[in-house]
Amino acid sequence: MDEFDERDVFGKTFECDCGRTHGIEPREVIYADNAIGRLPEVCARYADGRRAAMIMDVRTRRAAGAEAAAAMADAGWDVDEIVLEDPAPGKTPVCDDVTKTAIAPRAAGADLLVPVGSGVVGDTAKWLAMDSGVPYVTFATAASMNGYASPNIAPTIEGVKSLVYGRAPAAVLTSPTVLKNAPYEMTAAGLGDVLAKSVSSADWYLNHLLFDDYYCRRSVGLIAGIEPLYLDRPADLARGDETAMRALFDALLLTGVAMNMADTSFPASGGEHLISHSLDMMSSVDGVPHDLHGRQVGVGTILAAELYERLLAVESPELVDAPPGIDRAFWGPPADVVAGHYAGKADRLREAKELLAAGDAWDRLRAELSAMHRPPERIASCLSDAGAALKARELGIGRDRLLRALRHAHEIRSRFTVLDLAYLAGLMPAVASEIVEKWG
Ligand SMILES: [Zn+2]
Ligand SMILES: [Zn+2]
């Protein structure tokens, strides 16, 4: 493949050495202070009619939604503003089946969906767009997570944090001023979400090495040139430095693009994400609040990187069988669904144990994964210098809760990750308390 500018991949189609032809969506990205003013003209390129359902919440309406809706109406669009209300004082909306069902009839009549917001608003719109076949254009209000350019949706369905494949938006717009005015903890959360990549890419490669799964090096390398702009200078983000903010937003988009290229969330979501998803699910069971996705993912990334570090130090593991089932009492109401997901990887767990025991498989795995490993200290210092969450207490929870999430995170998905490898190698669950003691 020819060399290309990673920041200019949008809308391009190219043959990749992974064997696939990648058509990159979103087709266009506008990062400019006049992005709200340009929204109507961009939307016009992707809709047949002029009825726009604009989805926002009360905060993103203030940040950009009201102004964006006015700009659309001024340009002749018939605008239906769908504002996701807070479910209770101090609680923010969630992307779940209940919310989607409630607003689906209003979205169904539109020619275009326009989410103005970040994770929850964007995922809700993406889910509706997938169901109705209506195109959508996203206006991003925070550099808080990497879902903007990805096809993946992370809704809660019947109480279980799930993964649904939708499609990427036709276009993403944002204004640097809107991003900078977002609560800083959202920017710090975005940093946590992109830092996950060192673990998630290693987890993906692990599946490639063990099971010969599809793997695309190009998608993994997409942000290599941009990463130093925030990884080496995290304090710049805390200062709101323009270059660092732009780099973070680009990295969030490109890690989303990587998921699109791979047709799986694997490039950006491995064991570290399962820890965060577990915390979310524990919240939906017991009502204890959870923190922002990216803030939890940042902490999950430190824990998962520590797990990799310990695994890579093992010269010859005493392989054991993976746990035969899930802890039903721990999960409570969603236990049946969780058990179904975990059962989905029973074959892989057995196969992995056999493969790892054969010949020099473990040595080769260690050598390959060591080359991709980023030490937990590096991740922790980056998050710390950026003023992001590092510790359980900064997520508003006790260490015991983080420990339970770490111990049970492997149960919630059929995806094989570092968490499963650590169980097979006999490190988990024993090392979990040491790891949380050290980092949590
Ligand atoms: Zn590829
Ligand atoms: Zn994420």
Q: For 328-338, write each residue's pLDDT tens digit.
A: 999 999 999 99
How, if at all, do strands 171-174 and 28-31 pair?
parallel
Least confident of 2-6, 121-125, 355-359: 2-6
Amino acid 4: pLDDT: 53
Q: Report d(CA 269, CA 152) in Å as an integer.
A: 11
* Number of neighbours of residue 101 by Cβ within 10 angstroms: 9
- Determine the average pLDDT of the residues in 20-28: 95
Amino acid 161: pLDDT: 75
Q: Report d(CA 416, CA 180) in Å as an integer.
A: 37
Q: Report d(CA 38, CA 216) in Å as an integer.
A: 34
Q: How far does residue 32's CA lie from ligand 2's centre (Å)? A: 24
Give Cα 137 distance to the centre of its chain: 19
Amino acid 3: pLDDT: 47
- Residue pLDDT, tens place only, 220-256: 999 988 999 999 999 999 999 999 999 999 999 999 9
Q: How far does residue 139's CA lie from ligand 1's centre (Å)? A: 27
Ligand nearest the Cα of residue 24 is: 1
- DSSP string of 384-416, one letter each residue: HHTT---SGGGGTS-HHHHHHHHHHGGGS-S--
Q: How far does residue 204's CA lie from ligand 1's centre (Å)? A: 14
Q: How far does residue 260's CA lie from ligand 1's centre (Å)? A: 10
- Determine the average pLDDT of the residues in 399-409: 98
- Residue pLDDT, tens place only, 42-94: 999 999 999 999 999 999 999 999 999 999 999 999 999 999 999 889 888 99
- Residue pLDDT, tens place only, 12-22: 999 999 999 99
Ligand nearest the Cα of residue 261 is: 1
Q: Report d(CA 172, CA 7) in Å as an integer.
A: 13
Structural tokens at position 409? 């995170």
Is pLDDT larger for residue 263 or for residue 80? Answer: 80
Query: Given 3-state DSSP classes, what are the helix, strand and coil percentages for the chain, each rounded to the nearest 5?
Result: 55, 10, 35
Q: How far does residue 417's CA lie from ligand 1's centre (Å)? A: 21
Q: How far does residue 297's CA lie from ligand 2's centre (Å)? A: 7
Q: How far does residue 253's CA lie from ligand 2's centre (Å)? A: 12
Q: How far does residue 162's CA lie from ligand 1's centre (Å)? A: 26
Q: Report d(CA 220, CA 217) in Å as an integer.
A: 5
**Ion ligand 2: protein residues whose beta carbon lies under 5 Å:** 193
Q: Report d(CA 414, CA 162) in Å as an integer.
A: 11
Amino acid 1: pLDDT: 40
Ligand nearest the Cα of residue 218 is: 1
Amino acid 54: pLDDT: 98
Ligand nearest the Cα of residue 152 is: 2
Q: How far does residue 3's CA lie from ligand 2's centre (Å)? A: 28
Q: Is the peptide bond before 429 cis (omega within 30 degrees of 0)?
A: yes
Ligand nearest the Cα of residue 118 is: 2
Ligand nearest the Cα of residue 292 is: 2
Amino acid 2: pLDDT: 44
Ligand nearest the Cα of residue 161 is: 2
- Please give the model's pTM, rounded to 2 decimal places: 0.93
Ligand nearest the Cα of residue 252 is: 2
Q: Which of 283, 290, 299, 312 is nearest to 406 (CA)?
A: 299
Q: How far does residue 322's CA lie from ligand 1's centre (Å)? A: 32
